[in-house]
């Protein structure tokens, strides 16, 4: 059974960051711990600045939860697993609050934050066999019964996205491995791998990627370096930008990048990624597919992820380019103008990405 919980301690590397509770009106309240105020940092600079007092979350877009903590919750495939798991144990998923869902995430979420007290479901077995895990995933997709729902959830934890995935530790390295969903072709793993290789040639920072047996795409996790967990904050959670709807423009995202990082190289890094997304047809560039990491007392863009050909919303980019869902070359350079990137640098970036994107080019801007 799930222990009824209405408050949680939020921790970072074992240190208490603060206290999270649910108010009578259903909104989350958060207050930083006194010691964290002296030695820590703002875990969400735009909505939870590092100062004394109680913060109250907004109702939208995260149902009364703060964006940074919503980042810890699963969506898509992860939600499907946890709901199936709760039902298996006789619990109505709609009866579980976001506080209780965070307690199930516990210490196993993406990034460095963890939550106590924990609720967890113990798996009777453990397995890193990718083919076995894939077969169990297929059962879920086909709405078949499986005795290993706890295993799949514990291997997935709080990852987002629609495609099934697992976290595996392989030879001391932490990997995220994706499986096709019911709408994907069997080649989707190879396609994402090809995109990752081309993205790196375009000068885009990405973690190590590889194809595992069975043609499953794997990417090394950037939120764990050795035994250290790295603080990660999605743009959706940072800006309260609803990832389910078009709610963002690259100009707005670039300005937020500058405000957060104070590093113009990070703004240029974002522009390069935008050019790649346009030329390579990655239109599923919603606000959860961009993140920032906090490392060495500085914020910076995370390595890129989820780069695949996709249709977005009505075949438009989820994040617009100077207001356009299907941009022209002029729109691309309008973004660079608005972000203060000089003409020479923006043209060099565009030309480099264009040249390396030719094997997957879906948009002709000549």
Closest by alpha carbon to 165, among 174, 173, 155?
Answer: 155
Q: Please state the pTM of the whole predicted model.
A: 0.93
Beta-ladder partners of 314: none
CB atoms within 10 A of CB 54: 12
DSSP reduced 3-state for 116: strand
The reported pLDDT for the residue numbered 81 is: 85
The reported pLDDT for the residue numbered 252 is: 98
Angle at which helices 343-356 and 264-280 cross, to 10°: 40
Angle at the Cα of 248 (from 243 to 249), degrees rounded to 5? 145
Domains of the chain: 7-116 (no CATH), 130-224 (3.30.200.120), 230-358 (no CATH)
- Strand order, beta sheet including 54-56: 54-56, 28-32, 15-22, 7-12, 113-116
Residue 86 φ then ψ, to 5°: -65, -45
- The CA-atom distances, in angstroms, between 307 and each of 41, 59, 236, 333, 346 are 31, 31, 17, 22, 21
C-alpha torsion angle, residues 258, 262, 266, 270 (rounded to 10): 0
Q: Quick one: tokens of 99?
A: 């506080």
Q: Quick one: tokens of 235?
A: 């743009």
CA atoms in the 13 A half-sphere facing the CB of 287 = 23
The reported pLDDT for the residue numbered 255 is: 98
Give the span between the Cα atoms of 79 and 81, in whole angstroms. Answer: 5
The reported pLDDT for the residue numbered 122 is: 66
- The CA-atom distances, in angstroms, between 4 and each of 19, 100, 177 are 16, 7, 33
- The CA-atom distances, in angstroms, between 253 and each of 48, 214, 271, 307 are 19, 37, 10, 18
Give the span between the Cα atoms of 74 and 102, in whole angstroms. Answer: 9
Q: Quick one: tokens of 61?
A: 């877009």
Torsion over CA: 70, 71, 76, 77 (sign): negative
The reported pLDDT for the residue numbered 139 is: 85
> ω before 61 within 30° of 0 (cis)?
yes
With contact defined as beta carbons under 8 Å apart, do 342 and 331 qualify? no
Each of the 366 residues of the chain gets a pLDDT tens digit; together they read 566 788 999 999 889 999 999 999 999 999 999 999 999 999 999 999 999 999 999 999 999 999 999 999 988 888 888 888 888 888 898 999 999 999 989 888 899 999 999 776 766 567 787 888 888 888 888 777 777 788 887 777 666 677 889 889 888 899 999 998 877 788 999 999 999 999 999 999 999 999 998 899 999 999 998 889 999 999 999 999 999 888 899 999 999 999 999 999 999 999 999 999 999 999 999 999 999 999 999 999 999 999 999 987 889 999 999 999 999 999 999 999 999 999 999 999 999 999 999 999 986 664
With contact defined as beta carbons under 8 Å apart, do 159 and 165 qualify? yes
Query: How many residues are given for the chain?
Result: 366
Sort 366 into a burial class: Cβ within 10 Å, 0-12 / 13-18 / 19+: exposed
Give the span between the Cα atoms of 195 and 189, in whole angstroms. Answer: 10
The reported pLDDT for the residue numbered 205 is: 98
């Amino acid at each position: 059974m799930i222990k009824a919980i209405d408050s949680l301690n939020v921790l970072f590397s074992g240190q208490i960051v603060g206290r999270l509770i649910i108010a009578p009106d259903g909104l989350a309240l958060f207050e930083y711990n006194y010691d964290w105020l002296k030695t820590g940092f703002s875990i969400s600079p735009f909505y939870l600045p590092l100062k004394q007092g109680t913060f109250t979350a907004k109702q939208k877009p995260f149902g009364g939860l703060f964006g940074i903590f919503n980042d810890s919750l699963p969506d898509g495939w992860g939600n499907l697993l946890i709901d199936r798991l709760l039902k298996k144990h006789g619990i109505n998923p709609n009866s579980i609050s976001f506080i209780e869902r965070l307690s199930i995430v516990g210490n196993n979420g993406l990034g460095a934050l963890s939550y106590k007290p924990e609720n967890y479901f113990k798996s009777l077995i453990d397995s890193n066999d990718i083919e076995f895990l894939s077969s169990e995933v297929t059962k879920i997709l086909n709405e078949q019964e499986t005795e290993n729902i706890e295993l799949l959830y514990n291997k997935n934890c709080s990852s987002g996205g629609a495609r099934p995935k697992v976290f595996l530790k392989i030879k001391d390295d932490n990997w995220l491995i994706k499986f096709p969903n019911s709408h994907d072709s069997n080649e989707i793993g190879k396609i994402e791998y090809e995109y990752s290789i081309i993205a790196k040639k375009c000068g885009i920072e990405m973690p190590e990627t590889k194809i595992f047996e069975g043609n499953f795409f794997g990417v090394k996790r950037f939120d764990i370096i050795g035994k250290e967990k790295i603080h990660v904050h999605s743009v959706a959670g940072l800006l309260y930008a609803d990832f389910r709807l078009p709610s963002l423009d690259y100009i707005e995202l670039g300005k937020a990048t500058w405000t957060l990082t104070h590093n113009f190289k990070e703004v240029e890094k974002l522009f390069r990624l935008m050019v790649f997304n346009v030329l390579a047809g990655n239109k599923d560039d919603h606000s959860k597919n961009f993140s920032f990491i906090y490392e060495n007392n500085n914020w910076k863009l995370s390595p890129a992820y989820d780069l695949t050909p996709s249709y977005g919303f009505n075949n438009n980019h989820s994040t617009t380019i100077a207001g356009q869902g299907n941009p022209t070359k002029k729109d691309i350079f309008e973004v660079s103008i608005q972000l203060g990137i000089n003409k020479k640098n923006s043209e060099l970036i565009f030309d480099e990405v264009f040249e390396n994107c030719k094997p997957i080019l879906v948009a002709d801007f000549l």
